[in-house]
Chain A
Amino acid sequence: MDFTLSSEQLLVQRMAKDYAEQYIQPLAEQIESENEVPKDILEGLAELDLFGMPMPEAYGGAEAGYDTYVVALEQIAKVSCGSAMIISAHTLGLGAINNFGTEEQKQKYMPRCCRGEHIASFAFTEPGTGSDPKQITTTAVRDGSHFVINGTKRFISNGTHPGPMVLFARDQENGKITAFIVEKFGEGYSVSKPWEKLGWHGGDLVDVYLKDVRVPAENVLGERGSGYPILQYGIAFGKIGMNAIALGTLLAAYEEAVTYAKEKTHRGEPIAKFQTIQLRVADIAMKYEASRWIAYRLGCLANQTKDYADFAREAAMAKVIVAENAFWGTRIALDIHGSYGLMADYKISRLYRDAVMGAQIEGVIDMQKVIVAGSILFK
């Protein structure tokens, strides 16, 4: 057991940090107010191979492993959760194609995605269902060599970027959930105006309307009627990126807390002299340290896993721990700032809005506990 990053991982970490600080940081306020990550930034991230990090070289990926992916994404999220959200949702959709796609599907969709020319999506949530995807109502009707898809998908990341979308619909012939690769912006595809999220500004989130969207039968992902395991895989693997984003937020809050504790003075001395502040800094540090190794380990497990049910349980545990630590750690960092922390001028207020997000996405915290308890009590 060796809890250290390899020299390559340290370099990848530095690379992501340098890029985020040199190129994204100067635009952070613009991203926050306009709720959009500039195209130049996405192109820059693509040049660094961040859009295909864990994917095989054979399909244009960097084959760097999910652990290295977490290490890099943490540094991007530390500066811009929105940018990291785009990469995370993309990697989730792309990973599903890599895992369940045919050779032809992988050759067709993966290289452009790995180059960042296309950005992938993964769509299961609907107005009527989030935590319980078995209730999916979007329909797929076979029509000769095609399927015709109708329905609405809610809260879809990267819905406004062209590229493949792994979409779940109910096959009307067998009543079962089937996964399809749908090319965004084809005939019948439209999107709502972007949701104005509390945090993670810049990461695009829309509802997607599918009206008689025709998808060729060869775009069924996996077997017809076997979409549910793909969905479970996706929700579990999506948590790898969610953890990295939560971790990046916590790391940024940690740094803000330490800087503020040393700079803000009370009767001429830094507030760090107060034990109440010291205890808070220690709490944040411990939460970060614990979360980081859990998040990296989940990445490591993802590189090796063959058993998705087992991985789903590990991912559920890791997500709860990391999302809650990130939220509470950031909350404590906000306390250190007193009322200043509530002001938009102070970065910690943005980090707090970012830190709230993690608990709800890729399965709410309650559902994760249900998964973990089920694996212990009723297996």
Chain B
Amino acid sequence: MNIVVAMKQIPDLQQVRIKNRKPILDDVPLTFGNIDRNALEAAVLIKEQVGGSVTVVAAGKEGLEDTVKEALAAGADQAYLIICNEQEDIESSISAKLLAEAIKQLGSVDLVLFGEGSGDNYSSQVGSRVAELLDLPQVGYVERIELTAGELVVTRSLEDGKEVVQVALPAVLTVVTDLNQPRIPSVTQILKAGRKPKKVMSDQELLGAVPTPKVKTLSNLAPEIKRKQIQVGTAVELVEKLQAEGFLGRA
């Protein structure tokens, strides 16, 4: 089975500091989001079960060749990288075009996996857009994947329940973090990752003309958190206040 996993290069969220409600991204190393790692783990597990190959497709900035080593160490066989140095933040519609084009160029693909949303913006658009561009069925919120002859039985994690669907291959799945526990690569796998095959090209090379972005981010601010400074005199009062704030007891 030829599986493609789309992974987004994002700043390491654990190392982002917030100052005046703005994220400080200088010197923050780039990595892949956690949900994308779940998607990769699912792909590697399927490959281990039935054979085939796992290709990581990623669009990002300079340094992507380093970032992708993480995925190659964790079980991907090869990478297809699209470098977009001109764009500050790649708009979802453009990422989708780039990824869809790259996937087309890979030839026969049976399964395309995405994280449900990216670790930074979580716009949740790219998986669906790529499915549309490739004219493939798409299933979202996937928390369990079972492989049966030429088809997948997929459990979707919904707010009020679970839905089990059957989907023919090839298909696009967008997965949630409950799907699995991504493996931790060994030292040898990390050191050998850099030697796995990689195809690198620029967005222009891939698309010819790159569309002009139509969505502009005006501001990106962390929510304002203010201490409520509630004062209590007794334990009973403390319990009451906590209940009122919804921190104690059942809603």
Contacts and interface: CB of A to CB of B under 8 A. Distances in A.
* A and B from one complex: yes
Interface of A: 7-8, 10-12, 14-15, 18-19, 22, 47-50, 53, 62-64, 68, 72
B50 to A, nearest CB: 23
Nearest to B227: A268
A41 B138 CA distance: 40
Given A47-B186, A49-B186, A62-B191, 5 more contacts: A8-B69, A12-B187, A15-B184, A49-B187, A64-B187
A113 B34 CA distance: 34
Sort A-B residue pairs by CB-CB distance and give the 7 closest, nearest first: A7-B66, A49-B187, A62-B187, A49-B186, A48-B186, A11-B190, A62-B188
Given A10-B29, A11-B69, A11-B70, A18 B184 contact: yes
Best-buried of A47, A49, A64 by chain B (most CB within 10 Å):
A49
Interface string B172-208: 0000000000001111101101100000000000000
A18 B186 CA distance: 12
Interface in B17-74: 29, 66, 69-70, 73
A10 B185 CA distance: 13
Contacts of A47: 186
Nearest to A60: B188
Best-buried of B73, B185, B194 by chain A (most CB within 10 Å):
B185
B187 A19 contact: no
Contacts of A7: 66, 69, 194
A14 B191 CA distance: 13
Interface residues of B, number: 14
B74 to A, nearest CB: 10
Contacts of A14: 70
Contacts of B70: 11, 14
Contact of B184 (A8, A48, A64, A68): A48
Contacts of B194: 7-8
B15 to A, nearest CB: 11
Interface of B: 29, 66, 69-70, 73, 184-188, 190-191, 193-194
Contact of B187 (A10, A18, A22, A48): A48
Nearest to B31: A14
A22 B37 CA distance: 16
A177 to B, nearest CB: 34
Contacts of B73: 11
Contacts of B190: 8, 11-12, 15
Contacts of B188: 49, 62
A72 B187 contact: yes
Contacts of A63: 191
A172 B70 CA distance: 55
Contacts of A49: 186-188
Contact of A64 (B29, B66, B69, B191): B191
Nearest to A47: B186
24 contacts: A7-B66, A7-B194, A8-B69, A8-B190, A8-B191, A8-B193, A8-B194, A10-B29, A11-B73, A11-B190, A12-B190, A14-B70, A19-B184, A48-B185, A49-B188, A50-B187, A53-B187, A62-B186, A62-B188, A62-B191, A63-B191, A64-B191, A68-B187, A72-B187
Contacts of B193: 8, 11
A15 B190 CA distance: 9
A127 B187 CA distance: 38
A48 B66 CA distance: 20
A211 to B, nearest CB: 39
Contacts of A48: 184-187
Contacts of B187: 12, 15, 48-50, 53, 62, 64, 68, 72
A50 B186 CA distance: 8
B191 to A, nearest CB: 6
A8 B193 CA distance: 9
A59 to B, nearest CB: 13
B37 to A, nearest CB: 11
A15 B183 CA distance: 10
Contacts of B69: 7-8, 11
A72 B190 CA distance: 12
Contacts of A11: 69-70, 73, 185, 190, 193
A12 B185 CA distance: 9
A50 B16 CA distance: 29
Contacts of A10: 29
A113 to B, nearest CB: 15
B204 to A, nearest CB: 26
A15 B185 contact: yes
Contacts of A68: 187
A47 B186 CA distance: 7
